[in-house]
């Protein structure tokens, strides 16, 4: 229960951390939309208490990577029916193909998870046949760790710094909504309750 808007960032963190931990959590796979208006479902892989690095994984060749490079504005949208909470988290995205965050994320990814990044065709590229363009030898089995090495080149992390929290909880009294904003990660949050 959120009694004051001061408690909201910590509550958002708590809900997102639960979503990261459980693939059954409704916010485990929120919608991530870019400033170009395109949107897609992505698995939320990590969150920090400062809400400065919501972590997603992506193929570095995917169209959203180029789009977010041009316009880093991003919205992460999720709805948890159990809690009756919608979260619209707006902020800025950065893509990291190298560095500690990408290296650690790759290291923590299973060989089956890594296999996606071995696809021969980039996401969205036209194909004569349906399905993934995995190398034939790996199409139906788990690759070895050594076999996944080539996938590292196609792997990137998408990190979102949240600058606006728009939080709505439905209830029988018409709902409760708050909007908080900050100028940059680490800066104080401003805002408060708004009409739902």
Ligand X SMILES: Cc1cc2nc3c(=O)[nH]c(=O)nc-3n(C[C@H](O)[C@H](O)[C@H](O)COP(=O)(O)O)c2cc1C
Binding site for ligand X (CB under 6 A): 29, 38, 40-43, 56-59, 62-64, 123-124
Query: What span, in angstroms and rounded, lies between the C-alpha atoms of 140 and 157?
Result: 26
Closer by beta carbon to ligand X, 33 or else 178? 33
Closer by beta carbon to ligand X, 63 or else 72? 63
- Distance of closest approach, residue 35 Cβ to ligand X, in angstroms: 13
List % helix, strand, coil for the chain (3-state, nearest 5): 30, 30, 40
- Distance of closest approach, residue 8 Cβ to ligand X, in angstroms: 26
Closer by beta carbon to ligand X, 114 or else 182? 114
Closer by beta carbon to ligand X, 64 or else 88? 64
Query: What span, in angstroms and rounded, lies between the C-alpha atoms of 56 and 152?
Result: 15
Residue 118 per-residue DSSP state: G
- Distance of closest approach, residue 142 Cβ to ligand X, in angstroms: 19
Handedness of CA 190, 193, 194, 196 (dihedral sign): positive
């Amino acid at each position: 229960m959120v009694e004051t808007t001061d408690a909201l960032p910590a509550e958002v963190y708590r809900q997102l951390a639960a979503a990261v931990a459980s693939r059954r959590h409704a916010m485990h796979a929120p919608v991530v939309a870019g400033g170009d208006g395109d949107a897609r479902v992505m698995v939320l892989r990590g969150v920090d208490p400062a809400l400065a690095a919501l972590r997603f994984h992506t193929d570095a060749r995917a169209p959203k990577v180029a789009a977010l490079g041009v316009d880093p504005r991003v919205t992460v949208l999720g709805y948890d029916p159990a809690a009756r909470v919608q979260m619209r988290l707006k902020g800025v995205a950065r893509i990291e193909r190298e560095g500690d965050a990408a290296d650690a994320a790759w290291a923590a990814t299973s060989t089956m998870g890594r296999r996606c990044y071995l696809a021969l065709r980039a996401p969205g590229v036209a194909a004569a046949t349906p399905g993934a363009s995995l190398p034939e030898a790996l199409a139906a089995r788990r690759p070895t760790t050594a076999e996944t090495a080539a996938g590292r080149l196609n792997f990137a992390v998408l990190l979102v710094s949240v600058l606006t929290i728009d939080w709505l909880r439905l209830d029988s009294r018409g709902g409760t909504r708050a909007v908080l904003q900050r100028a940059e990660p680490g800066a104080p949050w401003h805002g408060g309750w708004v009409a739902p």
